[in-house]
Amino acid sequence: KKSSLTEVKIAVLGAPGVGKSALTVRFLTKRYIGEYDHQAETRYKHEVMVDSEPILFEILDTCPKNDEELPLNEVYNWADALVLVFAITDRRSFNYVRRVKQTMLDAFEMPVALVANKADMVHLRQVSTEEGEILAKDFECCFTEVAAAEQVGQIAEVFLEVCREVLSVRRKNK
Ligand code: GDP
Ligand code: MG
């Protein structure tokens, strides 16, 4: 029998070192490991209950080699939604998500969640909460400040919420 599980594909995008892998692993395993493979792009498949419906999450944890390397169009073609991550400690990573959004232009419309990670490192903050909120308004998306190093629930909520948006768009287009 063919599985009729609903699939939701999410690409996690952001500059190197912002915590994309830490956030992804937190969501999938509830654990924080601290060090991850920095070389390889990783795909995960994981079943999660979303509002008592089983959803097969496919998550692409991308791995740009540097600040200049932007996601390819095939990533946007593949994804149902994007989680755009920057680190509050890294101004350049904030500019990176801005550039990602600009290069997508209007060619790709899909639910987006903007995430500011490393909120535990307030003493090294380079990007204010307000700047994040303003960018999210510009993107017309939600914004959450998190610390993969410390949180579980709030990070899961980002993935669940963007999944709910995907499901809601699909229902409307039916
Ligand atoms: P990626 O390149 O975007 O996948 O980033 P990683 O997930 O590999 O994380 C890069 C570094 O930042 C690692 O040393 C992590 O331990 C660290 N890191 C990730 N999330 C947090 C966080 O919330 N707080 C702090 N202090 N460090 C973090
Ligand atoms: Mg990584």
Q: Does this model's pTM top 0.90?
A: yes
What is the distance in A from the centroid of ligand 2 to the CA of 42?
Answer: 8
**Nearest residue to 17 (alpha-carbon basis) of 92, 72, 73, 114:** 92
What is the distance in A from the centroid of ligand 2 to the CA of 25?
Answer: 10
Q: Which ligand is nearest to the CA of 16?
A: 1
49 phi, psi to nearest 5 deg: -80, 125
The ipTM value here is 0.99
Q: How many CB atoms within 10 Å of residue 106? A: 5
Tell me what pLDDT residue 33 has: 78
Please give the DSSP secondary-structure letter assigned to residue 133: H
Q: How many CB atoms within 10 Å of residue 65? A: 9
pLDDT digits (tens, 9 = 90+) for 104-157: 756 788 999 999 999 999 999 999 999 999 999 999 999 999 999 998 889 999
Contact 100, 18 (CB under 8 A): no
**Nearest residue to 4 (alpha-carbon basis) of 41, 55, 38:** 55
Residue count of the chain, please give it: 174
pLDDT digits (tens, 9 = 90+) for 72-112: 989 999 999 999 999 999 999 999 999 998 887 567 889 99
